[in-house]
Structure formats: C-alpha cells, structure tokens
Amino acid sequence: MYMCIRKLVAIILTTATLLCMACSVSMAVEYPCEGVANTKSVRIRKKASTSGERSGELKEGESVTVLEEIVHKNGNVWYKIKTAKGKTGYVLSDYLSVPEVDRIEAAESSPGARLMELKVHAGCSDKNQVGHNWTQYFEWNGVKVDEGEMQAYAAPDAELSLYVRIREQDEKPDTTMDTLLYTPTADDVDNGFQLTQTIKVTENTGKYKGNTAVWKVTYTFAPAE
C-alpha cells in the first residue's frame, strides 16, 4: 500500500479559472511516501541535478520510497528516493508519480462510484516570446494521465485532484505547476463535467524576461462506456 498523499509545492503562482466552484491550492508534503516510475527509463542520480552522476535506473512501474522533495529556483523538482534494494539517489519529479491513495480509495469505495474517462487538452494561443518547445504533464489523484487520457473512478462528494506541469524546453526552462481540487456532484458523475485552468508561464531570463505565456487547460470527464 502506498503510504502518503502527494502534495504540491507551487513554483510560480498561477491563476485558475474553474467551473463548478473548483479551486486551486498548494499543500504540504508528508514523507516518506511511495512513488512509481512513470516512464520507460528513469535515471537515478547521485545528486539532485541533471549534471549529477548517473547511479542507476528505474523501470516503468517500479516502486520506490520517496524520502524528501527538493525544489530548485529554476523550477525543477527532485525527489530523494530509496529503492527496494536500499539504494538511495535522486530522481526528477517529472518521472515519478505518487498516487494519492486516500482520494483513490474514497472514490472507489463510495456507493455512487462510477468509472469515468478523463481527457485533457492544453493550448496556448500566444506564447509571447516565452518559448517554442514545451512539455505538458498531468496527473489525476497522483496518477499520470498518459497521452492526455485515462480512466478512473469518481464519486459524488469524493474530492479529486488534478496536477499540471507546463515547462518550456531550454537551458533555463520556465515552469509553472499547479494543483486543482474539485468535489464532483451526483449530476457530474452521472452526466460528466468539465473544468478549466488558466496557467501562466513567465520568461525568467534573456531579452524577453518578464513576458508571460498564457495556457488554457481543459479537463473533460465523461462516464466510461
């Protein structure tokens, strides 16, 4: 069993426009907790840096114990981890999901639980010279939303969390992370619902320092067939 709920430390404040009275918050972290590698090959390093010497590798689906979180000024978040064999090291948080077991179990055990399909779409109409190449990463209750789609249980009055990370790709990447919390109603679960966020990513260096790219993220939930 997983031992904790994944919580977010926000790097850059964002503005969330939410439907149906959803809200965006930052929360504290409790360690140790269990994480799962969400990519085919995840590098373990001796220090919390992409320049750190490689000391091992995790396979997709492999579980580790997360000992602590390290947040860098450039927006990178690293986990200090311990493998099943007792080896410690550091993994970039992008590649490690920490399922929010309490939320997952609350939804699954509810009498009104229903399997829902989530589709996520993120778009930016004007990047405002902030960047050209970007990565987008999403989680539902701490589980990676693979290729923008996943299925899981939702239930009336069972709060769910949605996590987004949008990152520009360069030597000093601009990053925004945010978590949205929402409690579905019975009508939501029966008929589906939609939530939106506005994510602002600000250029941190160079000629266009201070410019902001505005992303709109839409989460669409529908009862699974």
* Low pLDDT (below 50) residues in the chain: 1-29
Q: Specify the residue for token string 């945010």.
A: 178
Question: How high is the pLDDT of residue 184?
Answer: 97
pLDDT on residue 207: 87
CB-CB contact of 21 with 205 (8 Å):
no
Q: Where do the domains of the chain lie?
A: 23-27+100-223, 33-97
> Which is the CATH superfamily of the domain at 33-97?
SH3 Domains (2.30.30.40)
pLDDT of residue 172: 78
- The pLDDT assigned to 174 comes to 85
**pLDDT value of residue 176:** 87
Class of the 23-27+100-223 domain? mainly beta
137-174 b/e with 16+ CB inside 10 Å = b? bbbbbbbbbeeeebebbbbbebebbbbbbbbbeeeebb
Q: What per-residue confidence (pLDDT) applies to 73?
A: 83
Q: What confidence score (pLDDT) does residue 59 get? A: 94
120-154 pLDDT per residue, tens: 999 998 898 888 889 898 999 999 898 899 999 99
Please give the pLDDT value at position 177: 85
Q: Do domains 23-27+100-223 and 33-97 have the same CATH topology?
A: no
| Helix, strand, coil percent content, the chain, rounded in steps of 5 | 10, 45, 45
